[in-house]
Structure 1
């Protein structure tokens, strides 16, 4: 939506482990010279940023390790959703924090999102056009403790900004 922004999504190889510690290892592999001096795949230039977009549901202490890894770096950020990424997606359709039975689980959010977005659920081709209202709604409803989102909150609006 902005030609000045070049967004590259880096997923684990073969749909593998997406834990925060595995994401750190993947980033290190991509931005550091190889063991024999090979040029890294990505060279971080001034103004470049790496964003770790994570859920809260499964990672426990690994989230603290990821935050410790990024805290000293101006070019790395964490955008955490509590419980899961679907919290962010719901803000594309509602200006309010969601409250429903089952909201403490990722599956509850997935089911809820399919109820909120009919027919067919979130459409990754069409619904990102609603990002401005999602940013505003998520920011307005954001609640945290120690820079971590509380239940039904997300930091993904920071990445959107």
Structure 2
């Protein structure tokens, strides 16, 4: 079980819980989401992994891709190489709006805690960050 503690924070702060579903059971995932929401955390969860978010910068998801390895392989094909510990952010930045649009299209229901099929809710956090940068 993931223990969440809420520190004193500024009224303008937002606390986000960002993670993948690939190593969680449904019961544990539900419990963590419930506890996070009780503590007013926002959720940005990817199914099965963060690489889904990265793939969405370049194209719609391939229906055959289901596992984290599938998405890592897809990134290698799209980019020529992929190293999860050394992301080249300049490759993704110009395509953020595309990734947000594709992610929203995959899972338009705002009430879902996590995508039930391959997808990501990372766009929720990204939209907030982009709004704060445009102020």
The answer for the alignment partner of 2:78 in structure 1 is 116
Larger Rg belongs to = 1
1:52 aligns with 2:17: yes
Within 5 Å, give how 1:1-161 maps onto structure 2: 21-22=1-2, 25=3, 27-28=4-5, 31=7, 43-60=8-25, 61-74=27-40, 76-94=41-59, 96-100=60-64, 103-118=65-80, 120-121=81-82, 123-129=87-93, 130-142=95-107, 147=112, 148-161=114-127
Provide closer, same or farther for how the CA distance between residues 150 and 143 of structure 1 changes in structure 2, counting only shifts above 3 A. Answer: farther
The whole-number CA distance in structure 2 between the counterparts of 1:98 and 1:113 is 12
Q: Which structure is higher in helix share?
A: 2
Identify unmatched segments of 5+ residues in structure 1: 1-20, 32-42
Q: Whose relative contact order is higher, 1 or 2, with alpha carbons under 8 Å and at least 6 apart?
A: 2
Identify unmatched segments of 5+ residues in structure 2: 128-135
For these two proteins, the number of residue pairs brought into alignment is 121
Runs of 4+ aligned structure 1 residues displaced above 4 Å come to none
The whole-number CA distance in structure 2 between the counterparts of 1:84 and 1:105 is 8
Query: What is the RMSD of the two structures over their aligned residues, measured on CA atoms?
Result: 2.4
The whole-number CA distance in structure 2 between the counterparts of 1:156 and 1:55 is 10
Q: Scaled by the length of structure 1, what TM-score is found? A: 0.64
The whole-number CA distance in structure 2 between the counterparts of 1:152 and 1:98 is 10
Q: Scaled by the length of structure 2, what TM-score is found? A: 0.75
Asked if the contact 1:143–1:153 (Cα under 8 Å) also holds between the matched residues in 2, the reply is: no
